[in-house]
Structures are given as structure tokens and as C-alpha cells.
Amino acid sequence: MHTNIQPDMKKLRASELQLKRYHIDIMIRGGISLGLLLLCHYQVIPIWVMVTGNIFLYPLVYLRVHDIGHAVSPSKYGWAARFVPITNPIWGGTRVFAGIHRVHHQYLGTDQDPWLPYYTGHPLRALFFNFIELEYTLVQYVRRHGADRELRINLAFNALCVVLGVVLFNYIYLIHLIAQRVVHTIAIFFFNFYTHRSHFASNATISTWGREQDLKPILPLMRMLWGSDTVDGLIFHNRHHCIGQNHIPVANYKFLTDTGNFTHYNDQWPLNEVVALKTPFAEHRFAQDDMAGDLRD
């Protein structure tokens, strides 16, 4: 495959207005989810309504974290991106996610990809790692960048929210948190394993696939339940991985090419096994430059 960057790529990037809307989306959906928690705590609604609401509210929150993380540098993050207002703690906020996720794009299919456990091996093993994705990603981030003051403050915020939630709302808070974590696990498993493996098996080849045709019969229903952005993020995930297109928000995936190469390290896809790179992560300097180039300063 050969890189094929669209001439109007700058027009497809998230505008300042869109970035503000992404932050607002996080706050609104996080607020509604918290409202469901309060209503359930005061026995206005049953537990199943609270859980069901999170099935439809949560995925877009994490997708907005993804969009913001790819679009701009951490200095441009608003409070909703730094301290994501949801029960399921996104440890370290968008900065931790973005710092590791961009490396996944650079090293897809190689032993230097920190995202590797989420899409390699047996599907059940990958499902487990997607369950602990937030914690595993945090560990990977600290190993690479350490824990500065901002990260420590962010982790303290996450931990305090969990403690206060349990104290104030008891088991209802734990149910709310577990519901979001289960939704997170299943959604991320599909975004990671389903899009990066040819099929659901240990021996499935590795690449990144578009799934529009596979899901075509149920796409109208999926869009009605989770919205076009969430669904497009899944079915056009392969376009998002093409070099030069990583920073485009999910709303514009449908306008991207699907003919570009995915990394600088492989040009023959799919892969039968993970590629071992001869030099360690820190020595791939041009990959670090690519990551910086994806950010709007």
C-alpha cells in the first residue's frame, strides 16, 4: 500500500468549535449519567434503568476523549478532558490515554506497541486486557513518562471521586461504576480486537479492517442507538490508522482514504504474527517526530 493523503486534510481536522462541542458532549453525557445515579440512589428509577442508560451514554464519552487526544496537544485540553466526569475512572484523564494511544498508531503490529495485549492472542485474553485497559494504559504511561505533578493531581482526583462515591451512594455507586466498566470493556474490545484481527480466533491475522460491509444489515439500528459518530468510528477504523489521518475526528472518517499505509515499519498487511523490531522504542526518533506532528500547538 502507498500513502495517499487527501488534499483537503486540513479541512477535515476538528475546528475550535468542534473541540468545544466534544468537551460539552463529555460534560452533558457525564452529567446525565450522574443524574441517573442520583435518581437510582433516591429510588426514583430502578437499577436496570440506570444501567441501561449507561450502555448508550458511555461510549461517546470515551470516543470524545479519543477525538480530543488526537486533535490537540495536552496544553489545549479543557477541564472535561483533564478530569473526565464519569464514574469509571479514566486514570490521568485524556493525557494518559493520548500519550499511549498515539504510540499504538506508530507501532501497530509490532512488539513496541503498548496497545498489543488489547488485540493479540486469544480473544478472551484480549477481552481481559480491555477490561483493565485504563489501569494498564496508566502503567505504560508512567513507565515512559513518569508521574509529574499534574498526573498525581489527576490520580488523586480519580481516587477521591471513587471514595466519595462509595461513601455517599454505597452499593449503587459500585453498580454504576461496574456498569460503565463493562460497557467500556465490550466497546473497546470491538474497537481493538474486532478492527485489528481478521476474525475472532487466536490465529487471526493482524491489520486494521473496515467493517462497514460486515455490519451493513444492522448499521441503521446501531446509528439510532449510539449515534453516527460512534458507529463510524468502528466501521471506518482502518482509515483512521492510515499515516497522516490519525488526527481526524470520527465524524470525518467517512471522508478519508482507506489506501494509505498504517506504519513506517510494515508495508505488507495483514501480518501473520507480531513483528519484532531490532531497536527499542526510545530510539525510533522519527516516530516521535510524527507524533508531535499530529498535534495542533
pLDDT tens across 18-56, in order?
A: 999 999 999 999 999 999 999 999 999 999 999 999 999
pLDDT tens across 63-97, in order?
A: 999 999 999 999 999 999 999 999 999 999 999 99
Q: Which three cell numbers stand for residue 125?
A: 485474553
SS3 193: helix
Average the pLDDT over 160-184 and give the result.
98
Task: For the chain, give every domain's residue range.
Answer: 14-293
Residue 255 has pLDDT above 70, yes or no: yes
Could you give the CA distance from residue 225 to residue 192 in angstroms, rounded to a whole number? 21
Q: 113 and 276 in contact (C-beta within 8 Å)?
A: no
Q: Which three cell numbers stand for residue 98?
A: 493520548
SS3 18: helix
Q: Which three cell numbers stand for residue 197?
A: 484481527
Q: What is the pLDDT of residue 281?
A: 53
pLDDT tens across 181-202, in order?
A: 999 999 999 999 999 999 999 9
Q: What is the pLDDT of residue 3?
A: 42
Helix, strand, coil percentages (3-state) for the chain, rounded to 5, are 65, 0, 30
Residue predicted with more confidence, 109 or 289: 109
> Phi, psi (5° rounding) for residue 191?
-70, -25
C-alpha distance from residue 17 to each of 30, 127, 240, 284 (Å): 20, 36, 21, 35
Give the CA dihedral 184, 189, 190, 191, nearest 10 degrees.
80
Q: 249 and 236 in contact (C-beta within 8 Å)?
A: no
Q: What is the pLDDT of residue 259?
A: 83
**Helices (H), ranges, the chain:** 9-12, 16-41, 47-71, 79-82, 93-106, 123-131, 133-145, 149-189, 195-196, 212-215, 219-226, 228-235, 237-240, 285-293
Average the pLDDT over 4-18 and give the result.
79
Helix (H), strand (E), coil (C) string for 225-254 = HHCHHHHHHHHCHHHHCCCCCCCCCHHHHH
Could you give the CA distance from residue 253 to residue 239 in angstroms, rounded to a whole number? 7
Sign of CA dihedral 7, 4, 110, 234: positive
Helix (H) or strand (E) holding 27: helix 16-41
Q: 157 and 169 in contact (C-beta within 8 Å)?
A: no
Count, residues in the chain: 297
- Tell me, rounded to whole angstroms, the distance of Cα 130 from its chain centroid: 11
Could you give the CA distance from residue 144 to residue 286 in angstroms, rounded to a whole number? 17
Could you give the CA distance from residue 81 to residue 71 in angstroms, rounded to a whole number? 12
Residue with cell 490465529: 203
- pTM, two decimals, is 0.90
Q: 231 and 214 in contact (C-beta within 8 Å)?
A: no
